[in-house]
Amino acid sequence: MIPGQFDYVRPGNLDETLRILKDREGEAKLLSGGYSLIPLIKLRLAQPALLVDLRDVGGLDGITMTDDYLSIGARATHRQIHEAPIVRDTYLLLHDVTATIGDPQVRNWGTIGGSVAHADPASDWPAVLIAAGATIVCRSQTGDRSIPARDFFLDTFQTAIEPTEVLTEIRMPRRPKGTGGAYEKLERKVGDFATAGVAAIVRLGTDGHITSAGIGVTGLAYAPFAATDAEEVLSGNAPSDALFRHAGAAAAAQSSPVGDVRGPIEYKRAMAAELTLRALRRATERALAYA
Amino acid sequence: MTTEAEPRTSAAIGGMGHSVKRKEDPRFIRGKGEYIDDFNLPGQLWLDIVRSPYAHATIKGIDATEALKIPGVLAVITGADLEKAGLHWMPTLAGDKQMVLPTDTVMYQAQEVAAVIATTKYIAADGVAAVTVDYEPLPVIVDPHKAMEADAFVLRPDRGPDKQTNHIWHWESGDRAAADAAIAAAEVTVSEDIYIPRIHVASIETCGCVADWNAVRGQLTLHMTSQAPHAIRTVLALVAGLPEQNIRVITHDIGGGFGGKVPVYPGYVLAVVASLTVGKPVKWIEDRSENLQADSFARDYHIHAELSATKEGKITGLKVKTLADHGYTDAAADPSKFPAGLFNVITGSYDFPDAFVEVDGVYTNKPPGGVAYRCSFRVTEAVHAIERMVDILAHDIGKDPAQLRMENFIQPEQFPYKTPTGWSYDSGNYGRALQLAMDTIDYAGLRREQAEKRERGELMGIGICSFTEIVGAGPSHDFDIIGLKMNDGVSIRVHPTGKVHAYISSQTQGQGHETTYAQIIAEELGFPVQDIKIEYGDTDTAPYGLGTYGSRSTPTSGAAASMASRKILAKSRTLAAHLLEASEDDLEWEPGKFSVKGSPDRFKTIQEIAFAAYTNFPQGMEMGLEAVDYYDPPNLTFPFGSYICVVDIDKGTGRVNIRRFVAIDDCGNIINPMIVDGQIHGGLNMGLAPALYEEITYDELGNNMAGTFMDYLLPTAVESPAWETGKTTTPSPHHPIGAKGVGESATVGAPPAIANAVVDALWHLGVRNIDIPITPQKVWAILHEKGLA
Amino acid sequence: MSTQHISVTVNGEAHEADVEPRLLLVHFLRDNLGLTGTHVGCDTSNCGACTIHVNGESAKSCTMLAVQADGRELKTIEGMATEPTLHPLQQAFWDQHGLQCGFCTPGMIMQAAWLLDDNPAPSEAEIREGISGNLCRCTGYVNIVKAIQQAAGEMAAAAETQTAGTAPVAAG
């Protein structure tokens, strides 16, 4: 319950932050909302020497539409994202996921950047970013890097971020007409991490067939992953429950769940399939409604 | 009397039957409660505990060097230190013994190994992190069946030479031969293995204390979270060798007890030892992880039951054999004659002649306990078993489970009813409660709906539980805890200006005693509730009692309040006669005043009588108006109820959704309907939790797999149904106010109702039993096996 | 060990302190400021007993460092009543028997206050969802929901009366 000791600094801008990360490379840990990091620090599972609080670093929490993408600042809270009109009205996949992360207090303070950088293998955002083909922007003193979500989540709690970088922005591709997305999460109780979580985006062509699909899966492997076999199953075909079950089976086969307190392997694999089915149904409904 | 009567007193007086708003709430809603962590003494030090990561290991060495270098760390206490004072072991409330700190072997994961005393809680935590312990792991036993094998590692070599086994005790009740005969002769027998897993009560406030040794006065004051402060005081006197009049245990506001704050945890003893050693107050407050991983658990009963019946479903006999996993020592605070608590109430609400129950207690490498989860001394386990068996019987013979129960219930005219295991049920009307539950929920309509849904392959289930509870331990001829009889006292003093100050032995942890006891006194004497102050929790002033758990407050201490009030009423009558210059026989009493029969305008109020007790009393009468009563209940009381639960099962995920839950409870005469409802709601939630969510499991190395709230799943408001409650009223004929106790009924009745509903939904697939917690993966595995998922 | 200087406003009162960076905000409130109404119920940020408002948003004060509160406005249970008048939520919890042991109550009231600020007319489902970060062991939540409904009604009526009181008088 009581953290070990550490130093604390609260830079006033991004440049100062980057300088600190370079100077104290390996020792410094960024603090955003804190709802992932501080619990670990309290249990002494994380013992950083220096905590760098991003609280006063401005310009990192905007939610704005550009021509090509929805830009979400890394410091935007889950709730800010949930209540942004553009998300509520158009980016329903994001609206789904921001309703399920943690509990109301967590959603008031937890940020998308903090959550994504923390990369818990059962957290919700990664599945959504993978399904959507989002880009994660990281800045260092040498400039910006744009990393596709599919290349970002490397291993358990490990991402492609360098120790001298700050995750500044997440770019969700603009939602074309005929596209719909949905997130299905199975949790043991409200507020839990996902026993299994599947995000699906489906794009329908004018002939009603699926031109492309993105499926992101969390809780069912050492890191969140893209269910590429399921995506292939869907591509070019007419949506139907039978097709979705086929895709679900592919997603389940591609999962490598661990048997643990959230369930045995067989159950989790079956849930991969079930949630894929449910996510695809809803995504397709939404795609048809956004013609 | 079976109808609910109007309150006898006015709302201004607020006696029984009034939903008086709670007198204790003003401080809680303002955040001005006084819980133990809110309490601090000047100069106090902090105690934190080094705990074992291993479930079973030899301690090769404890190195506190680095810890002692930390500025502010004053001392590190180990088992070796305690051994010098003979304090390394201490008795448990079950007559066994437990370690305060080990000298050579740890016996469960998270066991206390060393204590750090420091100037602040942060430094104490640093001290704990800096102590290194060298362990040599030993074989771990987490399965009580394996613990009973002939070649099993003997976990407690400290027991006598004839007790070199992990078998703690064997206990029996009933008639084995008669039960065997009934089963052998039966037309129908059902038998089942039912496991009720270990759970943890997890009140939102954890345990803690401030131990304050005053060397100048030779006085130990122990401020602590305790549901049984007097028992703690006496135990401390016996164990620490301190004179009992110089020990004072004070409980402050308690943030939930539910049995978890009855045992004497090593942390308390360590704080006392620390304070005695350094001569300053020492504070210890455990973390949630410590609470979940080391403090007293409940359940962990492996039950095998056989129920015999005629082919029409008339029950003829019951035979039960149970293995009780107690952890490494028996620290379950059971009455001494009942090591398996009141488990032999397992014959339930049913009328049949023959039963036999046997229980064997077993040691394993887990924390000790057994009865801490609002469970009424193993009644939860008993009721779960009998209600599951009755449902299995009904489904087996194709009879509606409600109908089968109705046909087997003990009938109202049979009370007091002697059960085959020796209990005398005081009163009951089981059929009426079940009928009310069925009418409220439209049982017939639900069965029709279920049939339709089943045609379509939808899984819907209806589960019934008709429980008989047994509370209010207990009569002195049968009930004691480590020899201390379970009789409770109340003392009431009336002041000249007609205000009342009462000291009660029971210890509220949220049950609203400051209000309900005032209501009992208001009922008996007619003083308004607002004029009555209820005090408790300080062993210097509160009369002796064995504590608050097992729903025993109203049956014992509540009765004492009533009886003490009646002593005061008797003296008041004499005073009234003196004031009115009439004979006592010519006086009539209504709450709040005595009047002369036939002359209602000649009366004296109880307030006038109070004043007279100090100013105008007959020659030869002692001044004052007060009384003490220690109540020896003639019997336990038997609240009961019928619950009906409706579930829908999501075939894709296995998740169970409780669509509706109707709870009809009968706790006899009700003191405060609003508070009783609150107790039922809370109890239902603590029945829902183990039915679907909560379980403490250990892997084969004895690692606790649910040691934080991340994995020990307390239901939130989202998981919790909108409970529907109702009442019938069947007073207890032997209790002074006809009340029975209610705090644990719903925890007892809810899990079987839920389990029965799920099995009912799946019975047609060949499912007979699912052990709680009924998690989605358990249901899914069944559906998958049957080809439905 | 090095300390950080913080300036915090709590229930309208300004405080200055030098604290270790690792000091949890809940401990700062309880131990440094003596505001013991905010409680600690767990160590994994699940129970919500420590809920307060930080700049108007409900937060779990056990999951924040005191240094993160520098320059911010905090509100705790002790700041809810304008004595002798209770906040409608406090009154409603009392009226509806929405508390038993009282330990989760301050956090529950603070979260409910934030909920009603965000959504003044919540449905029952929205109330249950809104307090899903706050655990109660005693009440089974039934009367907590009723209390929040009562307070929502009273606060909405009070808001209407206020608006009506300041409505312009019709011309003519």
* Cis preceding-peptide flag for B633 (omega within 30 of 0): no
- Closest by Cα among B668, B590, B520, B534 to B16: B520
> Best of A36, A43, A53, A105 to disrupt the C interface by mutation (most C CBs within 10 Å)?
A105
CB neighbourhood size of A85 (10 A)? 8
Phi, psi of C54 (to 5 degrees): -120, 115
A199 closest CA partner among A182, A180, A187: A182
Q: Compute the distance between CA of residue B727 and CA of residue B336 in angstroms, rounded to an integer.
A: 34
Which among B84, B56, B59, B82 has a CA at the least distance from the CA of B156? B56
Q: Give me the pLDDT at residue B6, please.
A: 86
* Residue C130, helix vs strand vs coil: helix
Phi-psi category of residue B22: left, alpha or beta, with phi > 0 → left and psi -120 to 50 → alpha = beta
Residue contact C37–B32, C-beta within 8 A = yes
pLDDT score, position C1: 61
Q: What is the pLDDT of residue C171?
A: 47
Amino acid at site B672: N
Inside any domain, residue A2 = no
Domain boundary among A136, A151, A173: A173
Which CATH superfamily is B36-138+206-254+261-294 part of? Aldehyde oxidase/xanthine dehydrogenase, a/b hammerhead (3.90.1170.50)
- From C138, which residue of chain B is nearest by alpha-carbon distance? B682
Order of strands, sheet of B132-137, starting from the edge strand that comes earlier in the sequence: B105-106, B57-63, B132-137
Assigned domain for A1 exists: no
Backbone Cα Rg of chain C: 18
CATH architecture of the domain covering C88-164: Orthogonal Bundle (1.10)
Separation between Cα atoms, residue A30 and residue B743, nearest integer Å: 48
- C-alpha A87 chain-centroid distance: 15
Beta bridge partners of B359: B171, B322
Q: Where in chain C is the domain with CATH 3.10.20.30?
A: 4-79
Same structural domain for residues A100 and A153?
yes
Neighbours of C, requiring at least 3 CB pairs below 8 Å, are A, B
| Residue at A16 is within a domain | yes
CATH number at A30 reads 3.30.43.10
Distance from CA of B512 to the nearest CA of C (A): 7
Give chain A's domain count.
Answer: 3
CATH code that applies to domain B297-473+635-785: 3.30.365.10
Q: Residue C135: which of B511, B680, B714 has the nearest Cβ?
A: B714
Minimum mean pLDDT range among A126-135, B553-562, B640-649: B553-562
Long-range contacts of B87-91 (CB under 8 A, 24+ apart): B87/B239, B87/B240, B87/B269, B87/B273, B89/B158, B90/B235, B90/B239, B90/B264, B90/B269, B91/B235, B91/B238, B91/B239, B91/B482
In the predicted structure, residue C165 carries a pLDDT above the cut 70: no
Answer yes or no: do A280 and A228 share one domain. yes
A133 and A116, same structural domain? yes
Q: The CATH number of the domain where A142 resides is what?
A: 3.30.465.10
Label residue B440 by pLDDT band (50, 70, 90): very high
Is there a contact between C102 and C81 (Cβ–Cβ < 8 Å)? no
Band (pLDDT 50/70/90 cuts) for residue B333 is confident
Alpha carbon distance A87, A84 (integer Å): 5
Q: Domain residues for A119?
A: 63-173
d(CA B419, CA B344): 9
* Annotated domain spans of chain B: 25-33+488-631, 36-138+206-254+261-294, 297-473+635-785
Sort out which chain C residues have CB atoms less than 8 A from A7's CB and list them.
Answer: 2, 21
Question: Which structure tokens are listed for B479?
Answer: 């009930």
Q: In the sheet where A50-53 sits, what is the strand order?
A: A7-9, A50-53, A28-31
The SS3 call for residue A34 is: coil
Task: Map residue A1 onto helix, strand or coil.
Answer: coil
Q: Which residues of B touch A188 (CB under 8 A)?
A: 693, 713, 775-776
Contact C39 B710 (CB under 8 A): no
Model confidence at B28: pLDDT above 90 = yes
For the segment B130-178, what is each residue's pLDDT rounded down to a tens digit?
999 999 999 999 999 999 999 999 999 999 899 999 999 999 999 999 9
State phi, psi for B717 to the nearest 5 degrees.
Answer: -65, -25
Question: Is residue B75 within 8 Å of residue B274, measured between CB atoms?
Answer: yes
Q: Determine whether the interchain pair C22/A2 forms a contact, defined as Cβ–Cβ distance below 8 Å.
A: yes
Task: Tell which residue, B470, B548, B564, has the closest CA to residue B509.
Answer: B548
**Min Cα separation A106/chain C (Å):** 7
- pLDDT at residue B549, rounded to an integer: 86
Neighbours of B497 (CB within 10 A): 10
CB contact under 8 Å between B288 and A1, yes or no, is yes
C4-79 — its CATH code?
A: 3.10.20.30
Distance CA A38, CA A46 (A): 9
pTM of the model: 0.97
With a CB cutoff of 8 Å and minimum separation 6, the contacts of B536 are B251, B503, B504, B505, B506, B507, B508, B513, B542
Q: Which of residues 635-674 of B touch C (CB under 8 A)?
A: 674
Residue B2 has pLDDT above 60, yes or no: no
Amino acid, single-letter form, for residue A223? A
B251 or B482: which leads in pLDDT: B251
Flag whether pLDDT at C168 surpasses 90. Answer: no
CATH of the domain at A284: 3.30.390.50
- Determine whether the interchain pair A104/C43 forms a contact, defined as Cβ–Cβ distance below 8 Å: no
Comma-separated ranges of CATH 1.10.150.120 domains in chain C: 88-164
Q: Do C63 and A53 touch (CB under 8 A)?
A: no
| Cβ-contact B424, B342 below 8 angstroms | no
Distance of CA B725 to the CA centre of its chain: 21
Q: For residue B159, give every residue at least 6 positions away whose Cβ sits within 8 Å of its Cβ, in sequence order, or none.
A: none
Instruction: Please give the angle made by the CA atoms of B664, B682 and B753, to the nearest 5 degrees.
Output: 45
- Do A37 and A14 share a structural domain? yes
Main-chain phi, psi angles of B444, to 5 degrees: -60, -45
Q: Pick A189's closest partner by Cβ from B122, B715, B784.
A: B715
Helix, strand, coil percentages (3-state) for chain B, rounded to 5, are 30, 25, 40
User: Which residue type, as a one-letter code, is found at position A57?
Assistant: V
Q: Which residues are within 8 A (CB) of A137 and not within 5 positions of it... i.e. 6 or more apart? A: A144, A145, A146, A147, A167, A168, A169, A170, A171
Find chain A residues with C-beta within 8 A of B718's C-beta: 189-190
* Banded model confidence at residue B5, pLDDT cuts 50, 70, 90: low
The three-class DSSP label of residue A111 is strand
Q: How far apart are CA B667 and CA B665, in angstroms?
A: 6
Best B20, B22, B30 residue to mutate vs chain C (most C CBs within 10 Å): B30
What ipTM score was computed for the predicted complex, to two decimals?
A: 0.96
Mean pLDDT in residue range C125-134:
98
Degrees (nearest 5) of the Cα angle B153, B292, B706? 80
Fold of B25-33+488-631: Aldehyde Oxidoreductase; domain 4 (3.30.365)
Spatial CA neighbour of A162 closest among A180, A177, A145: A145
Helices assigned H by DSSP within chain A:
14-23, 37-42, 78-83, 85-89, 92-100, 104-109, 112-118, 125-132, 228-234, 241-254, 265-289
Cα radius of gyration rounded to whole Å, chain A: 19
Q: Which residues of B are catalytic?
A: 227, 374-375, 744
What's the gap in Å between the CA of A239 and the closest CA on chain B? 20
- In angstroms, the Cα distances linking B274 to B203, B270, B271, B362 are 26, 6, 5, 33
Per-residue pLDDT tens, chain A, 291 aa: give them: 999 999 999 999 999 999 999 999 999 999 999 999 999 999 999 999 999 999 999 999 999 999 999 999 999 999 999 999 999 999 999 999 999 999 999 999 999 999 999 999 999 999 999 999 999 999 999 999 999 999 999 999 999 999 999 999 999 999 999 999 999 999 999 999 999 999 999 999 999 999 999 999 999 999 999 999 999 999 999 999 999 999 999 999 999 999 999 999 999 999 999 999 999 999 999 999 998
- Partner residue opposite B125 with nearest CB, options A2, A191, A263: A2
> Cβ neighbours of residue B615 under 8 Å, at least 6 residues apart?
B496
Closest C-alpha to A253, from A236, A232, A279: A232
Residues in chain B: 789
pLDDT 10s digits, B255-312: 999 999 999 999 999 999 999 999 999 999 999 999 999 999 999 999 999 999 999 9
